[in-house]
């Protein structure tokens, strides 16, 4: 739980030692705090030819109260921003002599109009000019169109190239800067606000190198799934309490990441029902009591549990269900017992299936609801000694992709988060060398916090995220490890 290296190199003495020895200096990440402004400072806007997303972007920037500056590539921005009543000016590249005045908090590039590989040069121009102006813990967001919905192979190619660009920017920016790519489907433009807010906010501190689709899911949802999303939120929507009046269930809520999820969802207005095994009742009660939530001591592996959950929720229903509970029983396959295989698959994967079936059949999960599953980098990349765990977490990815089209008719979304190295009691028990490798092998050079996973889940749970489904978002500080 305690990254003493991070603390040391960020102390006055430690910083000097690290500098003189040439050691890496991970940045203390700026995270969301209720007592600090979520959005402030300047966003610099750039664009490729014929950008199509500047208007919805201006809308969001105006809502969140950031100031904007327009790079030369985004000439359309100034009149547009004026129309949205947005403070704006021209972007001037940072002058080393000018000090911190030239610093911007975010770089947003609208690549939606790029139709050929040659036009990618507009990305070069913007980021070449602007990346040095980006503040520590700043944000890079590239907006594009889902390649698979493009009209021509050349456009598909160019839009797909954005992935290589965004991921490379994340790897070279360092200094706690996160870089992500958002593909917005035609017709889903009005549904970008919750996603754009998340990726511009300190809430996404440990989410970098990710590719998110709004209004599309690879190989599942019809491209117009996301049309007219978010319009139902209305002008009076309270963005500080997006889950007000909603009921959210979190499994494995007693401690660690589960408790953090319960915490964040409650802070956004949800009534949280926390589930954990009977042996964790005391911790579960304590966690839920301080959130004004409800504790349900149930073993999700028990065959009668799905019906019991449905019955417990029956009258009021549920809007958000977070499948967080999971276990590890690591051993190489040759040494693994059958019981270790079976319990990991059952608790991490089959139990989720049984619970969803019960809730969906009973109509307990309301139309327009959210299912969010916790996968893992091990489910993406596989891992030594984790054949059972990796299979279960890869299965979770399949569940999310396979269920999304079925649930779309009821406007229910299903997504997964895939945590990388997160500082928990579990990782605190790892051997030192393994723990240090896990902490440093990512673009942030540090582990994430349970709250980083929880904030990502809260974004997916958001009523405005109706166009995000069938997707897997890593919370890993852009870990090197992948597939």
Q: Which of residues 339-398 bind a second copy (CB under 8 A)?
A: 341-342, 345-346, 349-350, 353, 378-398
Contact pattern from residue 461 through residue 480 relative to a second copy, giving x for each residue in contact according to CB under 8 A and a dash for the rest: -------------------x
Out of 1, 17, 36, 118, the only residue in the binding site for a second copy (CB under 8 A) is 118
What count of other Cβ atoms lies within 10 Å of the Cβ of residue 434? 11
Give the N- to C-terminal CA distance of the chain in Å, as an integer. Answer: 27
Using alpha carbons, select from 156, 124, 53, 42 the residue that is nearest to residue 88: 42
Alpha-helix runs per DSSP H in 74-217: 77-83, 121-130, 153-173, 193-200
* 75 near a second copy, rule: CB under 8 A: no
Instruction: Tokens for 13, please give them.
Output: 């003495």
Angle between helix 387-407 and 338-345 (nearest 10): 30
Instruction: Point out which span in 9-17, 163-171, 191-199, 235-243 binds a second copy (CB under 8 A).
Output: 163-171
Using alpha carbons, select from 81, 46, 87, 83 the residue that is nearest to residue 67: 87
Q: What number of residues does the chain have?
A: 483
Out of 18, 169, 233, 453, the only residue in the binding site for a second copy (CB under 8 A) is 169
Give 75 or 219: the residue with its C-beta nearer to a second copy: 219
- Per DSSP, what are the bridge partners of residue 320? 248, 370
Helix (H, G, I), strand (E, B) or coil at 124: helix
Beta carbons of 375 and 472 less than 8 angstroms apart:
yes
Which DSSP category does 207 fall into? Answer: -
Give 147 or 463: the residue with its C-beta nearer to a second copy: 147
Instruction: Point out which span in 15-23, 74-82, 123-131, 304-312 binds a second copy (CB under 8 A).
Output: 123-131
CB of 205 to a second copy, least distance (A): 19
Give 259 or 344: the residue with its C-beta nearer to a second copy: 344
CB of 93 to a second copy, least distance (A): 10
* 281 near a second copy, rule: CB under 8 A: no
Beta carbons of 438 and 427 less than 8 angstroms apart:
yes
- Name the strand (E) or helix (H) holding 401: helix 387-407
Out of 5, 91, 109, 127, the only residue in the binding site for a second copy (CB under 8 A) is 127
* Active-site annotation holds for 183: no
**452 CB contacts (<8 Å, ≥6 apart)?**
31, 205, 206, 207, 422, 475
CB of 310 to a second copy, least distance (A): 19
* 332 near a second copy, rule: CB under 8 A: yes
Instruction: Tokens for 414, please give them.
Output: 């299903």
**252 CB contacts (<8 Å, ≥6 apart)?**
258, 275, 276, 324, 325, 326
* 224 near a second copy, rule: CB under 8 A: no
Out of 9, 58, 104, 150, the only residue in the binding site for a second copy (CB under 8 A) is 150
Using alpha carbons, select from 87, 105, 103 the residue that is nearest to residue 37: 105
Beta carbons of 49 and 75 less than 8 angstroms apart:
no
Instruction: Tokens for 449, please give them.
Output: 């916090």
Out of 16, 83, 90, 128, the only residue in the binding site for a second copy (CB under 8 A) is 128
Give 242 or 420: the residue with its C-beta nearer to a second copy: 420
* 209 near a second copy, rule: CB under 8 A: yes
Instruction: Point out which span in 232-240, 246-254, 332-340, 424-432 binds a second copy (CB under 8 A).
Output: 332-340
CB of 165 to a second copy, least distance (A): 4
361, 393, 177, 240 alpha-carbon torsion, rounded to 10°:
20
Out of 164, 278, 363, 368, the only residue in the binding site for a second copy (CB under 8 A) is 164
Out of 7, 11, 82, 168, the only residue in the binding site for a second copy (CB under 8 A) is 168
- Among positions 390-449, residues that touch a second copy (CB under 8 A) are 390-399, 401-403, 406
CB of 355 to a second copy, least distance (A): 13
* 116 near a second copy, rule: CB under 8 A: yes
Using alpha carbons, select from 136, 204, 220 the residue that is nearest to residue 406: 220
* 301 near a second copy, rule: CB under 8 A: no
* 296 near a second copy, rule: CB under 8 A: no
Out of 16, 90, 132, 289, the only residue in the binding site for a second copy (CB under 8 A) is 132
CB of 349 to a second copy, least distance (A): 5
- Per DSSP, what are the bridge partners of residue 46? 109
Cα separation values, 184 from 161, 212, 230, Å: 15, 9, 13
Give 206 or 341: the residue with its C-beta nearer to a second copy: 341
* 221 near a second copy, rule: CB under 8 A: no
* 73 near a second copy, rule: CB under 8 A: no
**168 CB contacts (<8 Å, ≥6 apart)?**
none
Query: Which candidate in 5, 183, 206, 389 is catalytic?
Result: 389
Out of 9, 57, 60, 158, the only residue in the binding site for a second copy (CB under 8 A) is 158
Give 375 or 446: the residue with its C-beta nearer to a second copy: 375
Instruction: Tokens for 180, please give them.
Output: 């992500």
CB of 331 to a second copy, least distance (A): 10
Out of 68, 73, 88, 159, the only residue in the binding site for a second copy (CB under 8 A) is 159
* 24 near a second copy, rule: CB under 8 A: no
Q: Which residues are catalytic?
A: 389
């Amino acid at each position: 739980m305690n990254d003493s290296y991070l603390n040391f190199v960020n102390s006055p003495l430690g910083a000097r030692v690290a500098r003189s020895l040439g050691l890496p200096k991970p940045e203390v990440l700026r995270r969301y705090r209720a007592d600090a402004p979520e959005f402030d400072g300047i966003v610099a806007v750039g664009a490729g030819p014929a950008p199509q997303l500047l208007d919805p972007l201006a809308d969001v920037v105006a809502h969140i109260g950031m100031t904007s500056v327009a790079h030369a590539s985004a000439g359309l921005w100034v009149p547009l921003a004026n129309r949205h009543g947005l403070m704006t000016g021209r972007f001037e590249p940072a002058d080393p002599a000018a000090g911190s005045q030239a610093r911007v908090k975010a770089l947003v590039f609208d690549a939606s109009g790029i139709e050929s590989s040659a036009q990618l040069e507009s990305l070069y121009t913007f980021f070449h000019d602007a990346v040095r102006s980006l503040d520590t813990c700043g944000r890079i967001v590239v907006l594009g169109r889902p390649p698979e919905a493009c009209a021509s192979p050349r456009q598909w190619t160019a839009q797909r190239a954005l992935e290589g660009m965004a991921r490379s920017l994340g790897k070279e920016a360092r200094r706690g800067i996160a870089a992500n790519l958002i593909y917005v489907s035609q017709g889903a433009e009005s549904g970008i606000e919750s996603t754009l807010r998340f990726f511009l906010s300190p809430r996404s501190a440990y989410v970098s190198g990710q590719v998110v689709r709004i209004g599309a899911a690879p190989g599942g949802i019809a491209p117009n799934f996301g049309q007219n999303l978010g319009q139902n939120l209305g002008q009076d929507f309270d963005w500080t309490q997006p889950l007000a009046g909603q009921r959210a269930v979190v499994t494995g809520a007693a401690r660690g990441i589960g408790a953090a999820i319960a915490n964040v969802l409650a802070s956004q207005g949800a009534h949280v029902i926390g589930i954990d095994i009977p042996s964790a009742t005391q911790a579960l009660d304590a966690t839920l009591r301080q959130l004004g939530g409800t504790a349900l001591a149930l073993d999700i592996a028990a065959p009668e549990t799905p019906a019991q959950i449905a019955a417990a929720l029956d009258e009021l229903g549920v809007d958000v269900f977070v499948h967080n509970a999971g276990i590890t029983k690591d051993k190489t396959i040759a040494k693994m017992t059958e019981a270790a295989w079976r319990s990991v698959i059952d608790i991490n994967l089959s139990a989720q299936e049984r619970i969803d079936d019960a809730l969906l059949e009973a109509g307990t999960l309301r139309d327009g609801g959210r299912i969010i599953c916790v996968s893992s980098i091990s489910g993406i990349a596989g891992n030594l000694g984790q054949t059972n765990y990796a299979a279960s977490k890869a299965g979770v990815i399949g569940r999310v992709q396979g269920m999304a089209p079925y649930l779309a008719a009821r406007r229910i979304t299903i997504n997964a988060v895939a945590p990388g190295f997160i500082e928990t009691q579990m990782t605190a028990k790892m051997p030192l060398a393994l723990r240090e490798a896990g902490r440093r092998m990512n673009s942030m050079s540090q582990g994430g916090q349970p709250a980083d996973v929880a904030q990502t889940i809260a974004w997916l749970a958001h009523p405005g995220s109706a166009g995000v489904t069938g997707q897997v978002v890593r919370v890993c500080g852009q870990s090197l490890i992948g597939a």
